[in-house]
Amino acid sequence: MIKKYGLIFTVGMIGWIFFASYVFYDYETYGISVFAHLFSFDDYAEGLFHLLIIFSPVGSTWTAYLINERRKLLDKTLESERRLRFAANEWLTTFDSMPYGVMMTDNNFNIIRANKYISGLAGRDIKDLIEKGKCCGSVHSHEEPLEGCPLVKSITSNRTEAFFHHNRIKNKYFIESVTPIFDEEDRPKAYVIVIIDVTDIKENEKKLIQSKDAFFNMLKDLDSTYKELKSVYDDLILAFSNVIDAKSHWTRGHSANVAYYARAIAKEMDIGGKEIELLGTASLLHDIGKIGTYDIILDKPTGLSDDEFRMIKLHPVRGDQILKPIKGLKNIRSVIRAHHEKYDGTGYPDGLKGDEIPLLARILCVADSYDAMTSDRPYRLSVSREYAIDEMRRCSGSHFDPEVVSAFLKVLEKESGVSV
């Protein structure tokens, strides 16, 4: 303690000691008139010296205060750096322990990041992959991209693309999903590639591996206030969204599509950037509660029984419960819980209606419903864009918020250039 505050105390006392010493010295000459002499400025040089004496306690005290504030700021900086390094190290450990291949590439197929799964698949060191590796050569053992490569498609479409293929060299079956990462100007800056070995599913018709606890252990400790971890946080949300959608090939890319529409609606409604960011994250994770739902129900080619439908209806609540331990995602829990509520109060799980439903959840409901209608499902084929638009209009005011539907129709009109 003495060592820590000794300098501050010394600096603070210098001016007071100097002031007291001079007053004591002057007292010998002027006696009780010492302060009258101290505040006299008859002589210019002596007046300047007296001003120096008078303000020296204030100056030294202020200097000590500034030194103390700098010390506290330095302590906070060092603590922030320690926490940042701890979180980054924990993330790297989690990232490398994942049972899936995850990597990031640029537009030229160069690998930017990769986990140990990718390293093992390529038979090369991670550092070597980042310095010299291209995704096609590392994963497929080809110098050029394969026909149907999802990264080539994603670069063109700026949307999530998926690919199922058989690697004859390794004799394994893989599902690859590629999702673009956009910068602040909505331009692709990198691509997240998730590679899942589905050899057992293909050969033995078994379920996909469902162990995703490593993601949650990592997300619990990420602090989004640190800009150094923000890009990692966003990348992992996208990667985890791809893993969720990969649970069933019917919903592959669904979360990314919903996020795309939801952000567009929010921008059309002039919602703030922070809220749009929350909405994007909620959209990517809105079906996280389906992790606990049996694949046989999700992929059932016929209508669901009452019991099966009740089980499906639990996924908004399960999603809320799954995210509850993660403090950084507390603001999206209510959005995920309420994304199946209807405007007239007939939805689930809580029967909310109108403005009782969070606005972001009302937007998510519209985006989710549109993409579901225009996508194939095991129990039906997709409907046309025109039919889906008619359904949105028909259900406006009952199922959907009319204001949100109006904004969404404007988005579709701008996107296609055709009046809807």
What secondary structure does DSSP assign to 173-197, as a single string? EEEEEEEEEE-TTS-EEEEEEEEEE
Among 50, 79, 108, residue at a domain's last position: 79
Judge whether 91 lies within some domain: no
Among 198, 147, 148, which Cα is nearest to 175's? Answer: 198
Judge whether 229 lies within some domain: no
User: Are 75 and 110 members of one domain?
Assistant: no
User: Are 307 and 359 members of one domain?
Assistant: yes
User: Are 10 and 132 members of one domain?
Assistant: no
User: Are 61 and 107 members of one domain?
Assistant: no
pLDDT by residue (tens digit) across 84-141?
A: 887 767 766 776 777 778 888 887 888 888 888 777 777 787 777 777 767 666 666 6
Among 381, 362, 363, 360, which Cα is nearest to 372's? Answer: 381
Please name the helix (run of DSSP H) or strand (run of DSSP E) that holds residue 105, with its range, or none.
strand 101-105
- CA-based torsion, 180, 171, 164, 101: positive or negative: negative
The runs of H, that is alpha helices, within 108-171 are 116-122, 126-132, 135-139, 150-157
User: Are 75 and 104 members of one domain?
Assistant: no
Among 211, 236, 255, residue at a domain's last position: 211
User: Are 139 and 257 members of one domain?
Assistant: no
Alpha-carbon distance 281 to 329, whole Å?
Answer: 9
Among 15, 45, 79, residue at a domain's last position: 79
Domain that holds residue 30: 2-79
pLDDT at residue 146, rounded to an integer: 72
Tell me the CATH number at 166: 3.30.450.20
Residues 6+ apart with CB under 8 A from 144: 136
pLDDT at residue 420, rounded to an integer: 62
pLDDT by residue (tens digit) across 206-252?
A: 444 344 455 556 555 544 444 555 565 566 666 566 656 555 544 56
User: Are 413 and 287 members of one domain?
Assistant: yes
User: Are 281 and 412 members of one domain?
Assistant: yes
User: What domain count does the chain have?
Assistant: 3
User: Are 258 and 394 members of one domain?
Assistant: yes
Cis? peptide before 349, omega within 30° of 0: yes
Judge whether 228 lies within some domain: no
Beta-carbon neighbour count of residue 400 at 10 Å? Answer: 25
Beta-carbon neighbour count of residue 316 at 10 Å? Answer: 26
User: Are 108 and 159 members of one domain?
Assistant: yes
Tens of pLDDT along the chain (420 residues) come to 555 566 666 766 777 877 777 777 777 777 777 667 667 766 767 667 767 777 777 777 887 787 778 888 888 888 888 888 877 677 667 767 777 788 888 878 888 888 887 777 777 877 777 777 676 666 666 667 777 788 888 888 888 888 877 777 777 787 888 888 888 888 888 888 888 877 776 666 544 434 445 555 655 554 444 455 556 556 666 656 665 655 554 456 688 889 999 999 999 999 988 899 999 888 888 888 877 554 544 555 556 566 666 777 888 888 898 888 888 788 999 999 999 999 999 999 999 999 999 999 999 999 999 988 887 565 556 688 898 899 999 999 999 999 999 999 999 998 876 666
Alpha-carbon distance 38 to 44, whole Å?
Answer: 13
Judge whether 252 lies within some domain: yes
* CA distances for 145 relative to 17, 32, 176, 239, angstroms: 78, 95, 13, 21
**What DSSP designation does 207 have?**
P
User: Are 19 and 157 members of one domain?
Assistant: no
Tell me the CATH number at 347: 1.10.3210.10
Cis? peptide before 145, omega within 30° of 0: no
Judge whether 180 lies within some domain: yes
